[in-house]
């Protein structure tokens, strides 16, 4: 049978067998697995047994990687220690010393730092371009270009990537496409089904969903995931069993959480857009049938005092992350994009007045009231 998304989020794990079957998936909190003799252990290396050592693989980490892969419509997935390690594993599965990447200029600050600085140590060159300009993309492609990288919905300005267009362009030039789908989640968009080769999630965010786990997931083409998994093992970027178990528990409620959070985001965006004093409200339209995402960004502009705004938020928490069940805010120029050069931030529109809001599952009326009060108090 072909199951709908909400059913898949709950029933992505393998059906347990044996005499004593736990309803909830057990936590395989072990560093290694034992064997009855040397021949039994050799069976692992011959491909006849699944588990030897948790850095190599573990039932809980496999559940997470395969579960997200199923939701994305991809054949394989691998769980990693963070979203950044998932990105690195995916990159190193495609490129090596002497290769070149074309990446979107409006990406998460941590990814920008990885691409602009750390990959140089590997002898990998990166060019940053405006991904909504096909001429600029094609002009950046070189003979040694191997990878085209972007985000399905960008952080923090929420630009929705034209995925079919950039995937088509990548195929034209025989490039691998890697898409960070953290903000959209497979609830809204499935880049792999559109033709992307690799899809990344910071599972710390909506996959885990409760702000209590740090994890990453990379899904995609079977050959590339096999290479990426080797990188994860050899670089020690594996996820712990307990963290994987927590993320899997969160994944089971992804559909219901996103449904509520997306509705709350739409309600808040509609409210903010009615205030003529706000410089700009960033919230996309026509992202998917299920809605337009659970993040709203707002540029307060010159009419409001930013410090007073943050101090007046009452129960809305100020954090450097997003996607938990609680509504939160962050300040991109001091957190996610702090290390991005000011000239680039200015070009992109990441200003001193920009606030990124992550909507939780509270009642929309209470969320709106909290922001109404903070905006009123911050008015100059």
Pair type for strands 125-129 and 100-104: parallel
Instruction: Determine the average pLDDT of the residues in 52-81.
Output: 96
Confidence of residue 13 (pLDDT cuts 50, 70, 90): confident
Exposure string of 293-324, with b = 16+ CB inside 10 Å and e = fewer, is bbbbbbbbeeebbbeebbebbeebeeeeebbb
Confidence of residue 261 (pLDDT cuts 50, 70, 90): very high
**Which residue carries 């393998």 as its tokens?**
14
How confident is the model at residue 340, as a pLDDT?
85
* Closest by CA position to 216, among listed 181, 175, 262: 181
CA angle 253-259-263, nearest 5°?
Answer: 145
User: Residue 213: which residues within 8 A CB-CB, separation 6 or more?
Assistant: 203, 204, 243, 246, 247, 250
User: Residue 90: which residues within 8 A CB-CB, separation 6 or more?
Assistant: 178, 198, 200, 218, 220, 224, 228
Q: Kindly name the residue from 8, 159, 205, 356 that is annotated as catalytic.
A: 205
Q: Which two tokens stand for residue 309?
A: 């705004």
Confidence of residue 72 (pLDDT cuts 50, 70, 90): very high
For the chain, the domains span: 5-251, 254-378
* Position with higher pLDDT, 344 vs 231: 231
Residues 88-107 have pLDDT tens digits of: 999 999 999 999 999 999 99
CB atoms within 10 A of CB 49: 14
Q: Kindly name the residue from 28, 62, 63, 108 that is annotated as catalytic.
A: 108
How confident is the model at residue 377, as a pLDDT?
96
CB atoms within 10 A of CB 363: 11
| Nearest 10 degrees: Cα torsion 369, 373, 375, 380 | 160
- As a whole number, the mean pLDDT across the chain is 95
Pair type for strands 317-318 and 295-299: unpaired
DSSP characters over 96-155: -TT-EEEEESS--HHHHHHHHTGGGGGT-EEEEE-TT-HHHHHHH--TTEEEEEEESB-T
Do the Cβ atoms of 313 and 211 come closer than 8 Å? no
Confidence of residue 254 (pLDDT cuts 50, 70, 90): very high
User: Residue 51: which residues within 8 A CB-CB, separation 6 or more?
Assistant: 33, 44, 57, 58, 59
Q: How far is 329 from 203, CA to CA, in rounded Å?
A: 19
Q: Kindly name the residue from 49, 55, 227, 317 that is annotated as catalytic.
A: 55
* Position with higher pLDDT, 179 vs 19: 179
User: Above pLDDT 70, what percent of the chain?
Assistant: 98
Task: Assign domain 254-378 to its CATH architecture.
Answer: Alpha-Beta Complex (3.90)
- Asked if 108 is an active-site residue, the reply is yes
Supply the Cα-derived Rg of the chain in whole angstroms.
Answer: 21
Q: Kindly name the residue from 63, 180, 197, 299 that is annotated as catalytic.
A: 180
Three-class DSSP category at 167 = helix
Element containing residue 178 per DSSP (H, E): strand 176-180
Region of poorest pLDDT, from 110-124, 165-179, 318-332, 333-347 = 333-347
Q: How far is 114 from 85, CA to CA, in rounded Å?
A: 10
Burial class (CB within 10 angstroms; exposed 0-12, middle 13-18, buried 19+) of 31? exposed
The model's pTM is 0.94
How confident is the model at residue 143, as a pLDDT?
97
* Closest by CA position to 188, among listed 241, 127, 250, 266: 266
Q: How far is 100 from 148, CA to CA, in rounded Å?
A: 9
In the chain, DSSP finds a helix count (H) and a strand count (E) of 15, 12
- Asked if 55 is an active-site residue, the reply is yes
Q: Which two tokens stand for residue 127?
A: 């060019």
- Asked if 205 is an active-site residue, the reply is yes
Q: How far is CA 147 from CA 73, 150, 228, 343, 353, in A?
A: 21, 10, 14, 25, 34
Residues 202-241 have pLDDT tens digits of: 999 999 999 999 999 999 999 999 999 999 999 999 999 9
* pLDDT exceeds cutoff 90 at 318: yes
Instruction: Determine the average pLDDT of the residues in 22-38.
Output: 91
* Position with higher pLDDT, 4 vs 246: 246
CATH class name, domain 5-251: alpha beta
- Asked if 212 is an active-site residue, the reply is no
């Amino acid at each position: 049978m072909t199951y709908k998304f909400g059913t898949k989020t709950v029933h992505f794990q393998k059906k347990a067998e044996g005499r004593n079957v736990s309803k909830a998936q057990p936590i395989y909190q072990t560093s290694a697995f034992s064997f009855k003799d040397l021949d039994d252990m050799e069976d692992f290396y011959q491909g006849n047994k699944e588990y030897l050592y948790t850095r190599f693989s573990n039932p809980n980490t496999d559940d997470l990687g395969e579960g997200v892969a199923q939701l994305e419509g991809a054949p394989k997935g691998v769980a990693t220690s963070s979203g950044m390690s998932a990105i690195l594993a995916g990159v190193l599965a495609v490129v090596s010393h002497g290769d070149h990447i074309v990446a979107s200029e409006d990406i998460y600050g941590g990814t920008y730092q990885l691409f602009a600085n750390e990959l140089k140590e590997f002898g990998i060159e990166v060019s940053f371009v405006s991904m909504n300009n096909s001429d600029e993309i094609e002009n950046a492609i070189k003979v040694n270009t191997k990878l085209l990288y972007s985000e399905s919905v960008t952080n923090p300005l929420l630009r929705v990537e034209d995925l079919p267009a950039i995937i088509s362009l990548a195929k034209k030039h025989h490039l691998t496409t890697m898409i960070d789908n953290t903000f959209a989640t497979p609830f809204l968009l499935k880049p792999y089904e559109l033709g992307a080769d690799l899809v990344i999630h910071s599972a710390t965010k909506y996959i885990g969903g409760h702000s209590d786990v740090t994890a990453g997931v990379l899904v995609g083409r079977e050959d590339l995931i096999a290479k990426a998994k080797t990188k994860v093992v050899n670089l020690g970027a594996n996820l712990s069993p307990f963290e994987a178990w927590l993320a899997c528990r969160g994944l089971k409620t992804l559909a219901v959480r996103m449904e509520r959070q997306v509705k709350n985001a739409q309600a808040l965006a509609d409210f903010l857009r009615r205030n003529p004093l706000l410089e700009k409200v960033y919230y996309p339209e026509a992202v998917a049938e299920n809605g337009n995402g659970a993040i709203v960004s707002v540029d307060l502009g010159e009419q409001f005092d930013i410090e007073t705004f943050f101090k007046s938020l009452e129960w809305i928490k100020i954090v450097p992350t997003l996607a938990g069940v609680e509504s939160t805010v962050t300040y991109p120029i001091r957190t996610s994009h702090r290390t991005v050069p000011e000239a680039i931030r200015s070009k992109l529109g990441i200003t001193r007045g920009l606030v990124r809001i992550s909507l939780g599952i509270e009642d929309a009326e209470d969320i709106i009231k909290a922001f109404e009060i903070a905006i009123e108090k911050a008015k100059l």
